[in-house]
């Protein structure tokens, strides 16, 4: 398959994946918990208001490979924001 065709197919797949990723609602959460097991990393999200106990919102189980990929994406996306908030203190 020629490179131009591969690139176009990849672009369409990414567009379809983005449509799927944004097809549902985003749930508000202000606390997160991570636990590791032999199967990977479990990320749980809760919302807490005031002194009440947190309310469970969502959890996902990621393979270690996916958890590392998420860590790398977040680090890259947030590096400028972190630099600004760190220097603003």
Is the model more confident about 9 or about 71? 71
Torsions phi, psi of 23, nearest 5? -80, -15
pLDDT digits (tens, 9 = 90+) for 29-75: 999 999 999 999 999 999 999 999 999 999 999 999 999 999 999 99
- For residue 85, CA distances in Å to 31, 74, 77 come to 19, 16, 14
Is the model more confident about 2 or about 39? 39
User: Residue ranges per domain, the chain?
Assistant: 28-88
* Cβ atoms within 10 Å, residue 2: 7
**The pLDDT of residue 88:** 64
Enumerate helices (H) and strands (E) in the chain, giving the number of each: 2, 3
Rounded mean pLDDT of 74-83? Answer: 91
Residue 89: pLDDT band with limits 50, 70, 90: low
């Amino acid at each position: 398959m020629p490179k131009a065709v591969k690139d176009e197919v990849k672009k369409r797949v990414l567009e379809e994946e983005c449509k799927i990723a944004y097809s549902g609602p985003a749930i508000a959460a202000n606390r997160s918990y991570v636990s590791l097991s032999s199967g990977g990393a479990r990320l749980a999200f809760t919302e807490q208001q005031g002194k009440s106990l947190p309310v469970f919102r969502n959890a996902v189980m990621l393979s270690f490979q996916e958890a590392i990929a998420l860590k790398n994406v977040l680090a890259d996306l947030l590096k400028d924001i972190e630099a600004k908030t760190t220097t603003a203190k």
